[in-house]
Structure 1
Amino acid sequence: MEFTLKTTLNAPAKDIFNTWISSEGHTKMTGGEAIASNKVGGSFTAWDGYIQGKNLVLEENKRIVQSWRTSQFEPHEEDSQIEVVLTEKGGNTELTLIHSKVPESGEHYIKGWDEHYFQPMKKYFTKN
């Protein structure tokens, strides 16, 4: 299963990129404890360990590709993958999230991205 979601944030791409790959920034941006990495191959966890994965591609201020799984994945299920594409448009940034290799039971992640990422991110980047 694969899906694509988009949101627009009131911040430059550089700020969103750097916040996503920073432990402190990711924690503040989502409200869930995160340990992030700014290195390709580096591991990360988010939402108090519910999400874990590795950085596969980091294109500064443009694109983040990560392996991604939650504690709900079955042991035999392979990691899914997220690709975060940042496109600046007139002072705002459009964030496109492509989530691929999602287990068939993963339909609920669509709502999860909105509730646990996009909504808190809109509030976070409006304040900063």
Structure 2
Amino acid sequence: MAADLENAHRISLSQRSGRAPVKTIRQTATIRGATPHDIYETIMDPKKHTKLSRQPTTVSRRVGGAFKVGHDLEGKNLKLTKDRRIVQTWRANNWPKGTYSKATFAFARAGGGTRVTFTQTGVPDQFYGEISQGWRDYYWKPLRKQFGSRGPEGR
């Protein structure tokens, strides 16, 4: 099943690349006072994610399972390594139908907290700025606030 999702994602990316330019978002955020487990659980637990995003959230904890944040975001889990890595297909509802990006969160202990290394490939060029800033405003800043961190902004 995971292979099917990965293949579907590759097909989607290759089909899309002929239609519209895409970009990659690369950001790193350090969340002081949080463990990799804390961050993983905040993203993967529906109640914790709802609190973070302030939108109703459903999240499956299995590979191939779906997630949905409010009416705006949705996708599926491609790979899950507890407390270390989350890989998902990801799309916003205002993207062209059938367009999905690939979001990867990697978690590592760093200086009294957790370093989140985030990459999102296949983001439609026209939405790059909005999505890139959205990660800062709706994920990294609230995570820092939740765990008491006052670190530098995610890059």
What corresponds to 1:4 in structure 2?
26
Instruction: State the one-letter code of the partner of 2:88.
Output: Q
What corresponds to 2:17 in structure 1?
none
Stretches of structure 1 lacking an aligned partner (at least 5 in a row): none
**If the length of structure 1 is used for normalisation, what is the TM-score?**
0.91
Q: In structure 2, how many angstroms separate the alpha carbons of the residues matched to 1:84 and 1:7?
A: 11
What corresponds to 1:39 in structure 2?
62
Instruction: State the one-letter code of the partner of 2:31.
Output: L
Please list every run of at least 4 consecutive aligned residues from structure 1 whose deviation after the TM superposition is greater than 4 angstroms: none
What corresponds to 1:99 in structure 2?
120
* Post-superposition offset of 1:120: 1.1
What corresponds to 2:81 in structure 1?
59
Are the equivalent residues in 1 in contact too, given 2:30–2:110 (CA < 8 A)? no
Residues 22-48 of structure 1 show CA distances to partners (whole Å, capped at 9, x for unaligned) of 1001111222221111111110011x1
Percent identity reads 30
Residues 37-71 of structure 1 show CA distances to partners (whole Å, capped at 9, x for unaligned) of 1111110011x120000010001111000000011
What corresponds to 2:41 in structure 1?
18
Q: Which has the higher helix share?
A: 2
Residue among 90, 93, 96 paired with 1:74? 96
Q: Secondary structure at the match of 2:49?
A: helix
- Number of aligned residue pairs: 125
Instruction: State the one-letter code of the partner of 1:17.
Output: Y
Structure having the higher Rg: 2
